[in-house]
Amino acid sequence: MLKKQLTELLETIQALHELLEEEKRCITEKSFAELNTLLFNKQKLLQNINSSNKLISTEQNLALIQQDMALSALKEDIQTSLQACQKNNEINGRLIEMSMKSNKHLMQLLTQAKGKNSITYDQKGLLNGASLLGKNIEA
C-alpha cells in the first residue's frame, strides 16, 4: 500500500515536471493562449502532491520507509524530482519577471511615441497632439 502511494506521488511529481517544462516553453515563445490552462493544471497537481504527502508522512510510514530499501529509494527519487521541479519553477518565475519588465518598458516607449504629454499647435492655432512616430509622412 505504501509503495503504491509513493509510486503515485512520484508519478504526480513527474507530471508536474513535464508541465513546468511546457510552461517554460509557453513563456519563452510568448504563447499565452494555453498558459492559463497550464497554470490551472499546475495548481491541481500541487494540491494532489500536498495531500498525498500528508497521507504518507505519518510517523509509522516514515519508520517503514527508513527500514525498507525499496521504499527509501522511492523517497530519494521523489526528493530529487521535487528539487528539479523547484528549480524549473524558479526559472519560470524569473522568465515571467523578465517578461513583465520587458512589457513595462515597451509600454513606456509606446506611451512616449504616442506623445501623450507633448502638445503642439497647428498653423491655425489649434491644439495638436505631437507624436514621435509622425503623422501624414510621405516618403
Instruction: Judge whether 133 and 118 are in contact, CB under 8 Å.
Output: no
Its pTM stands at 0.74
Residue at 53 is within a domain: yes
- DSSP-derived secondary structure for 29-43: TT-TTTHHHHHHHHH
73 assigned to some structural domain: yes
Please, are residues 18 and 85 in contact by the beta-carbon 8 Å criterion?
no
Structural domain of residue 102, as residue ranges? 2-128
pLDDT at 128: 61
**Residue 9, number of CB atoms within 10 A of its CB:** 23
Confidence bin at 39 (pLDDT 50/70/90) = very high
Q: What is the pLDDT of residues 74-110, one digit of tens each?
A: 999 999 999 999 999 999 999 989 988 888 888 887 7
The answer to whether residue 138 sits within a structural domain is no
Q: With bands split at pLDDT 50, 70 and 90, how would you rate the model's confidence at 30?
A: confident
Under a CB-based contact definition with an 8 Å cutoff, are residues 108 and 116 in contact? no
Residue 27, in any domain of the structure = yes
Q: Work out how many domains the chain is built from and give that number.
A: 1
Tell me if 46 is assigned to some domain. Answer: yes
Say if residue 122's pLDDT is above 80. no
